[in-house]
Amino acid sequence: MSKIEITDVILRDAHQSLIATRMRTEDMLPICDKLDKVGYWSLECWGGATYDACLRFLKEDPWERLSKLRQALPNTRLQMLVRGQNLLGYRHYADDVVRAFILKAAEQGMDVFRIFDALNDIRNLRTAVEATREAGKHAQGTICYTVSPVHDTRGFVKMARELAEMDCDSICIKDMAGLLTPYATEELVKAIKDAVDLPLQLHSHATAGLAEMCHLKAIENGCDRVDTAISSWAGGTSHPPTESLVAGLRGTEYDTGLDLELLQDIGMYFYEVRKKYHQFESEFTGVDTRVQVNQIPGGMISNLANQLKEQNALGRMNEVMEEIPRVREDLGYPPLVTPTSQIVGTQAVLNVLTGKRYETITNEVKIYLQGGYGQAPGKVNEKLRREAVGEQDIIEVRPADLLAPELEHLRREIGDLAKSDEDVLSYAMFPEIGRQFLEQRAAGTLQPEPLEPPPGDGPQESAPTEFNIVLH
């Protein structure tokens, strides 16, 4: 192994993790010139929740963002996160929509497609991977890392082999919850690199304060690339700081070769940008190791807290926390990531609040148990499945095999409001907010949600701090 390659997630996962995906394109463009000079392997800048947030909150056309970023970053690979057959939405789309979306994104300049499925059911990756390959772009097959009685290194290696057979260009280990430990990383990375002759990339969230150490053990065991976030948007539920890894590897066989002083400039820029979005910051931004005890991702806990608060039942949080592992077991231990984290969490809340487990079963749990999201990693609770699904057939095939082509139908539905294929895809992803966006655009009433002024506004304008001083 030599030179470690870096993907900076500042334009996607960092702000998705820290400020609910609210960073605006106008705050990305001014620094693109510097970002483009760093020499990153790629910049993750699109996909995940950004598409939704653009339409719903920022009233930006996500395709316009992509086009502007492409223009401003001519020398750097652009990377996006794709939820397999769910693309950037929350349901399985028909193959024609998946293909159209991937091909359009590729045409608009996307270089690297990181594709995952919440259940690690690789059948749900196939269409997206094939479309990416067809477009001549980089398909990164992704393994969602989790810990459960049915997950082990052998299973993850098997999946890595299958991703390689599917002609993925590289493999990603996606540790969305910060569950990896340094020596678990060592074992996993070594095993995958032994089994599969593809570049391996590690995406590990800093939630529990372990990701830096995981990076190091990954790198020492042959991992080729890691995801980091520029320091002013690093740490906590985001990722380890880019500058620290670059500094830490300088002069070693792993040297990233990136320019630390340039990165520091970029860090300062984003430090200022972050202030603009203070209203979206969580109160708690530090290290939280609870996931290492209870395996429940931090983001899921805060969502549940909000759900419970709305029902005036915050006091039952502990019961919900105890119920989550039981629901997860009943569902065959899915990794907890969009949408499974929501499916498990909501059912756990219902089980606690109704006072009787599964007295009410959500529609999503029913679909899940029927096989509508794909195959569960372990055995599901059969009794529960019968209760939920009743006489209906269990879906054994790839769920999207049951979906008829839908793109032309969607195109007709949205009609003249769509001025382009991209517009049709926005409507396809999010029928309600996509339509609303297109309607407001037509009416000239698009209006981004307002930003609150900086705290302590009023006369006190803090003196320039030592940290704004440019040192070079």
Which residue of 147, 195, 247, 384 would you call a contact of a copy of itself, by CB under 8 A?
A: 247
At residue 390, the 3 state secondary structure works out as coil
Residue nearest to Co ion (CB): 472
The DSSP code for 204 is E
Q: Which is nearer to a copy of itself, 132 or 204 (CB)?
A: 204
In this structure, is the dihedral angle defined by the CA atoms of residues 457, 460, 464 and 467, taken in order, positive or negative?
Answer: negative
Which residue of 16, 201, 221, 232 would you call a contact of a copy of itself, by CB under 8 A?
A: 232
Q: Which is nearer to a copy of itself, 107 or 272 (CB)?
A: 272
The DSSP code for 134 is H
Q: Within 10 Å of residue 403's Cβ, how many Cβ atoms?
A: 17
From the list Co ion, a copy of itself, none, partner contacted by residue 318 (C-beta under 5 to 8 A by kind): a copy of itself
- Cα(first)–Cα(last) distance of the chain, in Å? 33
Q: Does 29 bind a copy of itself (CB under 8 A)?
A: no
Q: Which is nearer to a copy of itself, 283 or 416 (CB)?
A: 283
Q: Does 393 bind a copy of itself (CB under 8 A)?
A: no
CB-based contact 232:268 (threshold 8 Å): yes
Interface positions, 282-321, toward a copy of itself (CB under 8 A): 282-284, 286-290, 292-294, 301-302, 304-306, 309, 314, 317-318, 321
From the CB of 472, what's the least distance to Co ion, in Å? 4
Q: Which is nearer to a copy of itself, 209 or 378 (CB)?
A: 209
The CA-based angle 8-226-251, given to 5 degrees, is: 95
Q: Does 252 bind a copy of itself (CB under 8 A)?
A: yes
- Angstrom distance (rounded) from CA 46 to CA 66: 7
**Residues sharing a CB contact under 8 Å with residue 258, sequence separation 6 or more, in sequence order:** 6, 38, 39, 40, 242, 246
**Residues sharing a CB contact under 8 Å with residue 160, sequence separation 6 or more, in sequence order:** 141, 143, 171, 192, 195, 196, 198
CB-based contact 392:363 (threshold 8 Å): no
From the list a copy of itself, Co ion, none, partner contacted by residue 13 (C-beta under 5 to 8 A by kind): Co ion
Q: Does 175 bind a copy of itself (CB under 8 A)?
A: no
Give the interface with a copy of itself as residue ranges (CB under 8 A).
181-183, 208-210, 212-213, 215-217, 231-232, 234-235, 240-241, 243-244, 246-252, 260-261, 263-264, 271, 282-284, 286-290, 292-294, 301-302, 304-306, 309, 314, 317-318, 321, 455-456, 458-467, 469-472
